[in-house]
A and B are shown apart, each in its own frame.
Chain A
């Protein structure tokens, strides 16, 4: 079974631009979560989608948004990019509503975003 895939793997943007990252979960998985990893803050939860609805959101500004499609694929968008948005963005999937039960989240390889 193929794992979680994320595109693109690397991205360079300038301040003020916006960016869209894509995530395809493991086949059959319906829950997708997004995380940001930075050297200073570590891995932090952004949001979770299940059945095309955002179920939970971490402590990030409204510039960070996402959506999920009927095939469970998910995208996250960051508008008005700031230098501090440079990070590794990770997507994780789980079979159902992983955050509501004892389910494991499986991570993709991440998208490395550099904001100049």
Chain B
């Protein structure tokens, strides 16, 4: 049973436009959410995170939105650049003692077209 779902395996966006990557989760105990970017043959690189006490967090071109009632989060990249082409993973976890590690979605392959 997938607790974190990224329903779009791939997304193609024109350079300069907004990229919106979506993620849904089912475990209501998750209270910390992270986005990672991954290139082939490399480890995931941390992009941005958000805790459940917030509904938005911004860092430069990256903004993450959290809708707790819908158990949905999204990553907005504005403007999209060619170097943003990569696989993006949404990850979640439950903080506090006894928590398991990060639970990852299957990833969305973002392709930025010139």
Contact = CB atoms under 8 A, between A and B. Distances in A.
Interface residues of B, number: 27
Interface of A: 4, 6, 33, 35, 42-48, 56, 58, 90, 92, 99-102, 104-110, 112
B42 interface: yes
A102 B95 contact: yes
Interface of B: 32, 34, 36, 41-46, 49, 51, 89, 91, 93, 95-107
A90 B44 contact: yes
The 7 closest A-B pairs by CB, nearest first: A45-B101, A107-B43, A43-B104, A42-B106, A107-B44, A109-B43, A99-B99
Given A43-B44, A99-B93, 14 more contacts: A43-B91, A47-B101, A56-B98, A56-B99, A92-B102, A99-B99, A99-B101, A100-B95, A102-B51, A106-B46, A107-B43, A107-B44, A107-B45, A110-B41
A111 to B, nearest CB: 10
